[in-house]
Structure 1
Amino acid sequence: MNSPVGMGGVLLVIAAVVWLMVFVPGWSKRGEIVDAVRNANQQLKAERELEQSSPQYRLNRLVATQRIFSILFLFLLIAGVTTGLLAGGNSGTWILSITVSGLSVLSLLVARAAAKQAGQVAHKIYSARQQVRSSASRAMKKAVNNKEWTPVSIPDPLSKKQSAAAPDVAEVIDISKPRRMMTSKEIDEILARRRAI
């Protein structure tokens, strides 16, 4: 209790140290984290756009549209017939029945249009695949049926490729008498002198 430094001051110093060790580095790296998230989102968006531009994706979407509107047609037709049978003399129910039946016809038209476009896209995909397969099979038949011998191409010598007037880089001299051969003892002495330096 008689300590000259109060506990509040010590706790304040500890809090400042914790603040500097934990929160300040996180604050400085916050921009990097935001940039990384932004880059990841841009990559995902680009991949989705690339995926959505493919004919197979369009075909899948058209088939899904056809299924959804066919089911919608069925439910609206059942609802229209049911409200028509239950309408009796009520004019409001007849209007509802006619409206629901009209919507069911519209959903049938949308389903048929989607089916027609899906058929066209599927035909394009199929013809493109068949074209690739037929060209590959033709190339394979050519490679298999070709029994001619073809010579292996040998590269031309480099001496023919160089120009006739090649510049001399250095003067060539003839060494008539080689230097004397050194013994291993002399080599050891030279190496010892070099190590001593």
Structure 2
Amino acid sequence: MNLNGAGGLMLLVVAALWLWVFVPSWVKQSERKQEIRRDKNSIKSEIKNNQTKSLKNYSGVAAKTYRLVLVRRLFSATIVVSIATLALSSYLSTENFLWLFAAAPSFILLIASCWVVFKASQRIDQLSLLALDSKSQIFSKYAATFESDQSSIDSRAWVRTELPEPKQSLATLEQVEVASVEVLETSRVREVDLDEIIRRRRANG
């Protein structure tokens, strides 16, 4: 190759421009990829740590929920027994009023059992909502982190163009206009027209 000519000089200029433009961009792109890889690895390790912590929290929440469910079942059975005792005491009090003294403790036990069941159910709902809220916060936090990383990869990247919305109106009724139909009268030859036609034919003949 003759580098002394104009063609060789142009080739050197093009090669220098190519190296000056593309090599730094490749270096920046590789550095950016390494940085993203490091961020993803750190996020994955943090997710694992949070998962271990959340598993411990979930185990504690599950144990509390299990105990509360047992308490609710026990006092629900107590409610049934209290209602049965109260009904039986009320029935027997018609024969002997002393059975009313047995109905009073049953009524008090019924009220207390209903209150315990209500509080246990309320606490179970609170623990379930707390567990779901903590889990959703963890995943929403890391989802936002991944979205910010993906959006900052390349601002010149191709962005999908959304299709335009249809021009026709949706979910609306259209009033259809029907054309009016008119009946055409049958054509009849009048005597005056017939005489005029015969006269013209005779004149032409």
> TM exceeds 0.5?
no
TM-score (norm 2): 0.43
- Which protein has the larger Cα radius of gyration, Structure 1 or Structure 2? 2
TM-score (norm 1): 0.44
